[in-house]
Structure 1
Amino acid sequence: MSEQTITPIHDHLIRGHDYLAQRPEFALIGRLETIQQLTAILTRRHANNILLVGSGGVGCSALCLGLEERKSAQDAPYDLISKRFFWLDSDGLFTSGNPNTINDSFQKTLKTLARTPDSVLIIDDMRDFIEASRSNGASNLINALMRAVRKKDTQVIIESRDADLNVVLSAHSDMREYYTVLDLGEPAADELTEIVAQTARRRLEPFHKIRIADSAIAAALELTEKYRVRDMGLNRAQPERSLTLLDRALTSYRLRAHSKDPRIVTLEAELETLAQEDPSAARINELKANIQAISQSWQTRQHTIKKLFQELRSGEEGIRRLENELETQLIKEADDRQNAGADQEATNSTSAVNRFMLDTVNLDSDIITRIKQKMAQYEALVKEKKDEFEAQTKEINDQLELKQEQVLIEFSSISRIPVTKLTQDERKKLLHLDAQLAKRVYGQEVAVTKLANQVRVAKAGLQAPNKPQAAFLFLGPSGVGKTEIAKALTAELFDDENALLRFDMSEYMEKHAVAKLIGAPPGYEGYEAGGILTNELRKNPRRIILFDEIEKAHPDVFNVFLQILDDARLTDNRGLTVSFRDTIILMTTNIGTQHFLGESNFAVAEDLALADLEDVYRPEFLNRFNGRQNIVCFKTLGLSIIEMIATREISKLNEMVQATMPNLTIAMDTKALSAMCRDHYKPVNGARGITGYIEGVIKPEIANTVLFADQSSGTITIGYDEAERCAVMSLPDGQRVE
């Protein structure tokens, strides 16, 4: 039954079984525990109305449909079977735009519900309902709805996005008293896999007419769980993210496969590999012959399909043309009969029986008969061509199957993450994590090893329950790699260092600053928006979070830290709880910096810095870092480490230049680099001093040379004048700067 054939019974209500009949492909998978929760709430005596809250795509609407579907289950309790669910046709209710008409219609709706025993009204987007009521001058609809709830005329289930929760709750003062808020989270891993697999095969396979392999479903789940992209379709909650990725991958794969035979792609790849390895191999000629034969067959089939499509469209156009002719002829003949009957009545030349026969007998004329015969011929032709067209396309589609490779290609094109990174073995990546971190963070072996080990423990599922995956507090001077290690870890685990969620705690120095993290109290500006931290975690619970320079934060902020580090959960100002169990928490502080700069013995400096830390922070806070085992002191960088960093920065500069001018190279000899580092490195500035010198002095000189040199080829040598304490550029032989 199509949606167009279903109309509200009256007063803008749609019966539950009719609403479900509009969606014949619907089946609720999993979520049995949540359905039982909803049923229990509806069976209560008090607060038996439901405010269902969740992120877009998490399945609020599906759960309401699931309640109606659950009524037909053999083990459904009678308490649920007796409920009569009605969906409100909000669009129809507000169509007129007339406040009086809207109010009258809604009052009739509520009377219908009051006359129906055990009625349950479902409003699928409460914020839209509220805004439509106010914009149409019918704000009293909210009061009328709440009055019906108080009088127990009906029960109500309303759906709301979590971002709109405060708008809904503030719509009426009694909302919290009469409604139970049910916060719907994403399905658990096993349940999510089942939902995505069954839904994809029930909805996507029939639509695209292409099979979906288990490997493709597993890849879609893994990618959408691990990565978050800004694409609107892939920024929703699960299972919607995975289904959207599969739909897009099927579309791209389908278009590629329908423009070129997939077998040719495989054979061409094999031919290219073989030609590089053994150009004289006999298999090469065989592959070329196979490619040519398949290409000819493919072109013939494509020509046949296109011809069938043109004939099909031509037949459909013929039917439409004949339908217009038939309608015109029927109107003409009806007018002729009416005029003839009027003339006969005027002359009284026809008996009453003849006039009755003239009015009631409607035999087709010869013209109408011929038109109908032609239409029947066209319809038979269209059916024949359509069957042939579908047979040809089915023969192609039956050879296709969406696999992991196609899903990876599609996600790579969306996220801009190379396929090679997406296909990296996660276990190997974790095994070599410390080595990869050490490539970016020099001279901090203890911090790198501890962090990598803790991440491996978490990924192995051995972390403490209801705790973050890892929590570290980094101490040390500025510029020694505390922030850099957070970026490096994010890049390794998520292939994008911009995925790091960073909070500069200098922005949280005031007492009220905690409201920025979890949301403002009721009645204050920004209450509806929620908190920055909690909102981000609701969108994506798998994050690396850096709280930078925590000593600058107001003491009240540390109460939030205590809850995150202890329970791995936080409740925002709206009453919604977010989990930090899948997060890695990193904090940095400059407390004790003076000891690392003034003490040559690192162990002594470490003890002094930790003593300062104990003077500033409460023991219960410090103990949250794995019993203080994860409080890590960073060493002051030696000159040899600074030279390694400078070498890396010069290499990056060289890559930037060659990206735009491939024939130009930047070079700096070891002696000049050592002299530059010796003159411009100060421990108090850390690595930032030397990187700042390269950014502020060397880069502008290189830019001037590149822009104004006669030619852009050869090697630009960076020298260093120790007497003047400055870098000197040497152009390739024979070149000069104008």
Structure 2
Amino acid sequence: MLLVRGREYLAQYPNFTLVGREHDLERISSILIRKSSNSLLLTGPAGVGVSMLTLGLQAIKSSPDTPFDLIVKKLFWLNCDALFSSGDSAKINNEFQSILKKLKQTPESVLIITDTANFLEGAHNTGNAHFINALNNADKSSNFQVILEVRDDKLSSVLKASTKMPELYTLYDVKEPVGDDLKAIVSVVAKDLSEHHKIQITEDAIDEAIHLTSKYRDSLGLGGAQPQRAISLLDRALASYRQLTHKQHPKIVELMDKIAKSTNEVEQQDLQQQLEQWQKDWQELKSEINKTYQYQRDAETLRFQLQDEITQLQEEEDNSNNSQPTTIKTFAQFTAGGFDSPAVAKLKEKIRQIDTEIAQNNNQHQKLVMLANKDLRLNRQEVITEFSKVSGIPANKLDENEVENLINLEANLLSRIFGQDSIVKHVANSVKVAKVDELEESGPAMSYLFLGPSGVGKTEMAKALAKYVYGDEKSLVRFDMSEYMEKHAVAKLIGAPPGYEGFEAGGILTNSVRAKPVGIYLFDEIEKAHPDVFNIFLQILSDGRLTDNVGRTVDFSDIMIIMTSNIGQPYYLDPNLTDEEARGLATNELNNTYRSELLNRFNGRENILHFKRLPMEVIEQIICREINKLNQAYQHRGFTIEISDSSISAFCHDHYDLIRGARGLPGYIKTNIRPFIVNHILQNPNDKGIFSAVYNQQTHSFDMTFCKI
């Protein structure tokens, strides 16, 4: 069937329930009942549930609250696989024209194509590339409408297929659900998962799946967008948990753990008795389940054998019929007319008996499995364990308390950012306010402008915030604004206009935010960007939203914006100026360079932060930190690196450059000290001992020695 009616299509999903998408359905419905541009181009990332919305349209038609103008719409789904299956270009064209004719003759009809990119590819491959124009012409000249579903990464190819798209279609971008809507959707699907796996899912497991898949978006193998990511994680966690528990029931593990921890002999004896009884009952239950498995296999094998015998008998009877004279009517000839011979009938009766026994055995098997699973519940910890396997992030890190992380944020930042204590305190407090305060404000989650000389911790601050606030330094996305100096830079960020080269690629910034809507976006050296780019910055900082070249809006409300600027560099580097004097002069230059409305967007300029020059004692602290990192890296091999305070001080005085700041010093450690250590390990893999580094002021390098222990 090339066209599937809405009721029939919905019947394929007997348990379908659409929740958390009421606003989207309302918007889509209002578009469908408009007079013009009332066809829809539904787009969204993979896994967001675009197809569920069109199913929801059919489902709400039975609701008494649905507008009459929508109830009268007749929804039809196009079966693209059936349409293109023949590969015959002429036949496919005739069938498609018949579809269009039927839609024209059916008042208030709506054609839904679930994978528009696949439809266009199929049309092109069969020599029917004109289908999209034929569809659009029919849509424009008649009273039927079209809903095209397309993944956002395929949207540009669909828009290029016809110039009439903007005129006929309203683009509707399906966003990832969040908050209560996301939980409602995942909870509904979790019921189906629970029924499939026959394991209950606790609410905290659902919450944790949503939390982890929202926070760590770069993890592989979990689908593209919410809610699919959380659903995939729950499904995987259930499968892993079921395998694990069928080997050893959690109650047995719990009793064994209690016995190991107990110090009371009487209690231990009681627990041991419980454990032995549980182990006995569990083994008996597993044995019964295995018997049903074995019976199922044996019965199915016998059934296949009987079916083969029937086929062989029927072939022999057919051959016998062909060898008989046509004037003689044998029983075999009568059976060829539709009756079974006694031998075949007997075998078929055996198969019916086996089918009955298989069904009874299957019922018994299901009861035993339900009994085995009755105490099993997927909890938060199992979800964390599974996500750890998927992401490679240690489970203990995933289990960290976010409240504790916020409480410890200042201390964690201070462990990485030296010499900028007041800035660390300000940033930590503002992050806590943004995370805990529930005031609804436009704009990104947080926004900062960092000023100051090079190598004083601006980029390191961004990396540290990515790790301690968003859980991973990979959540930091950096844009080097020196790459956006030309006038067409805006097009690079949000996408080129229709008809221009690169239109189909979209914008680098908008694409990135769509793919990663949570994290830190660092815009480095903003003074190098073209002036037109600052209009984009102003829109982001003011509204927290940005519209790309095809009309899709991206949301910055869960993103921390950090911008850096080299404004005032001569003042910061002037040794004759104090930090306060340099800050004042840099602020004056900042005010003369950028518009007030832009600067005011950084929390009323409170988040314009001036990083100070680093004194020599702080530079020495940074080198000590690098040496500690080396010791941690080689400790498991039995090596220690020792450098005296005097050597560190002499090294810093020789190599510290005010222009580069502390940036070059850790690199020196990597290129001069570490090679000596690595070469020694390669040549003497069984050695253990102490590497000593003594700074030689004549050669301006470290003299390395090794003392074996």
- What TM bracket, shorter-length normalisation? over 0.9
> Structure 1's 439 and 364: CA in aligned 2 closer, same or farther, altered over 3 A?
same
- The amino acid of 1:70's aligned partner reads I
Q: In structure 1, the residue corresponding to 2:93 is in which secondary structure? A: helix
Paired letter, 2:126:
N
Which residue matches 2:374? 398
Contact 1:341 1:358 in 2 (8 A): no
What does residue 509 of structure 2 align with?
Answer: 533
Matched, 1:438 2:414: yes
User: Could you tell me which residue of structure 2 aligns to residue 3 of structure 1?
Assistant: none
For 1:195 and 1:514, the matched residues in 2 are separated by 37
Query: Is 2:200 the partner of 1:225?
Result: no
Deviation string 1:254-275 (CA, Å, 9 cap, x unpaired) is: 111112211222233334445x
- Distance in 1 (CA, whole Å) between partners of 2:450 and 2:524 is 10
In the alignment, is the contact (CA less than 8 A) between 2:160 and 2:504 conserved in 1?
no
Q: Which residue of the other structure, out of 164, 167, 183, is the alignment partner of 1:177?
A: 167
> Is 1:604 aligned to 2:581, yes or no?
yes
Aligned amino acid, residue 553 of structure 2:
T
Picking from 99, 103, 106, the partner of 1:109 is 99
The alignment partner of 2:455 has SS state of coil
Structure 2 spans left out of the alignment, 5+ residues? none
Alignment of 1:120 with 2:110, yes or no, is yes
Contact kept in structure 2, 1:676 and 1:720, CA below 8 Å: yes
Cα displacement string for residues 553-589 of structure 1 (whole angstroms, at most 9, x for unaligned residues): 2222212111111111111111111111111110111
Match of 1:696 among 662, 671, 677: 671
Supply the distance in 1 between the matched residues of 2:672 and 2:336 (Cα, whole angstroms).
100
Q: CA deviation at 1:389?
A: 2.1
With over 3 angstroms needed to count, the CA separation of the structure-2 counterparts of 1:634 and 1:355, relative to structure 1, is: closer
Q: Give the letter for the 2:581 counterpart.
A: V
Structure 1 position 293, deviation (Å): 4.2
Q: Which residue of 2 aligns with 1:379?
A: 355
Kindly state the Cα deviation for residue 230 of structure 1 after the two structures are TM-superposed.
Answer: 3.8
Q: Secondary structure at the match of 1:555?
A: coil
Instruction: Tell me the SS of whatever aligns to 1:185.
Output: coil
- One-letter amino acid of the structure 2 residue matched with residue 257 of structure 1: T
Q: Which residue of 2 aligns with 1:350?
A: none
1:259 equivalent to 2:243? Answer no
One-letter amino acid matched to 2:211: E
Per the TM alignment, residue 356 of structure 1 is displaced from its structure 2 partner at its CA by: 14
Whichever residue aligns with residue 565 of structure 1, its letter is L
**Is residue 74 from structure 1 mapped to residue 50 from structure 2 by the alignment?**
no
1:716: which partner in 2?
Answer: 691
Whole-angstrom distance in 1 between the partners of 2:331 and 2:420: 107
Q: Distance in 2 between matches of 1:372 and 1:523?
A: 68
How far apart, in 1, do the equivalents of 2:356 and 2:391 lie?
A: 48
The alignment status of 1:325 with 2:309, answered yes or no, reads: yes
* Aligned equivalent of 1:653, options 630, 649, 664: 630
Q: For each residue in 1:378-416, what CA deviation from the matched residue of structure 2 results, as whole angstroms up to 9, or x when unmatched?
A: 334323432332222111111211111111111111112
What SS class does the counterpart of residue 490 from structure 2 fall into? helix
CA distance in 2, matches of 1:358, 1:100: 44
What is the aligned partner in structure 2 of residue 14 from structure 1? 4
| CA distance in structure 2 between the partners assigned to 1:218 and 1:446 by the alignment | 36
Contact 1:486 1:586 in 2 (8 A): yes
Give the whole-Å Cα distance in 2 for the aligned partners of 1:647 and 1:362: 92
Q: Helix, strand or coil: the match of 2:222?
A: helix
The alpha-carbon distance between structure 1 residues 623 and 363, as it changes in their structure 2 partners (threshold 3 A), is: closer
Is contact 1:463–1:469 with CA below 8 Å preserved after alignment? no
1:490, 1:499 within 8 Å by CA — same for their partners in 2? yes
1:500 aligns with 2:490: no
Equivalent of 1:684, from 649, 659, 662?
Answer: 659
1:727 to 677, 702, 708: 702
* 1:97 maps onto 2:87 in alignment: yes
* Distance (Å, rounded) in 2 between the aligned partners of 1:402 and 1:111: 53
Distance 1:725 1:167, change over 3 A: closer
Task: Give the SS at the match of 1:250.
Answer: helix
Residue identity opposite 1:217 in structure 2:
I
> Residue 479 of structure 1 contacts residue 686 of structure 1 at CA under 8 Å; is this kept in 2?
yes
Q: What SS does the aligned partner of 1:471 have?
A: strand
**Cα distance in 1 between the residues matched to 2:6 and 2:424:** 58
Matched, 1:572 2:556: no
The CA deviation at 1:93 is 0.9
* Aligned residues of 2:78 and 2:111 also touching (Cα < 8 A): yes
Mapped to 2, the partners of 1:132 and 1:366 lie a distance apart of 51
After superposing the two structures, state which structure 1 stretch, 175-184 or 260-269, moved more: 260-269
Matched letter for residue 623 of structure 1 = N
- Say how many residue pairs are matched: 708
After superposition, residues 216-365 of structure 1 pair within 5 angstroms as 216-234=205-223, 236-274=224-262, 283-284=267-268, 286-333=270-317, 336=320, 340=324, 342-344=326-328, 358=334, 364-365=340-341
Q: What residue number does 2:602 align with?
A: 625
Q: Please name the residue that 1:416 is paired with.
A: 392
Equivalent residue for 1:46? 36
Q: Which amino acid aligns with 1:224?
A: T
Is 1:437–1:485's contact at 8 Å kept on the other side of the alignment? yes
Deviations 1:438-466 (A, max 9, x none): 11001111221121122112112356611
Compared CA separation, residues 641 and 284, structure 1 to 2 (3 A):
farther
Does residue 189 (structure 1) correspond to residue 179 (structure 2)? The answer is: yes
Equivalent pairs: percent with the same residue? 43
Q: Which amino acid aligns with 1:343?
A: T
SS of the aligned residue for 1:180 comes to strand
Deviations 1:647-680 (A, max 9, x none): 1100111122234x2x222222323222222322
Contact 2:221 2:390 in 1 (8 A): no
Q: What's the secondary structure of 2:546's corresponding residue?
A: strand
CA gap 1:427/1:336 in 2 versus in 1, 3 angstroms: same
Contact 1:458–1:470 (Cα < 8 Å) also in 2: yes
**More deviation, 437-446/94-103:** 94-103
Q: Is the 8 A contact 1:164 1:528 kept in 2?
A: no
Indicate the residue corresponding to 1:348 in structure 2.
none
CA RMSD of aligned residues (A): 2.3
Contact 1:537 1:543 in 2 (8 A): no
Task: Say whether the 8 Å CA contact 1:701–1:729 is kept in structure 2.
Answer: yes
Distance 1:359 1:392, change over 3 A: closer
Task: Between 693-702 and 90-99, report the one with greater CA deviation.
Answer: 693-702
Q: Distance in 2 between the 1:144 and 1:138 partners?
A: 10
C-alpha distance after superposition, 1:487-524 (max 9, x if no partner):
00000022211220111112222222222211122223
TM-score by length of 1: 0.91
Picking from 365, 373, 383, the partner of 1:407 is 383
| Paired residue type of 1:406 | E
> What's the counterpart of residue 215 of structure 1?
204
Q: 1:84 to 1:677 in 2, by over 3 A?
A: same
| Aligned partner letter, 1:530 | G
Shift of 1:467: 1.3
CA shift for structure 1 position 75: 2.1
**AA at the equivalent of 2:600:** N
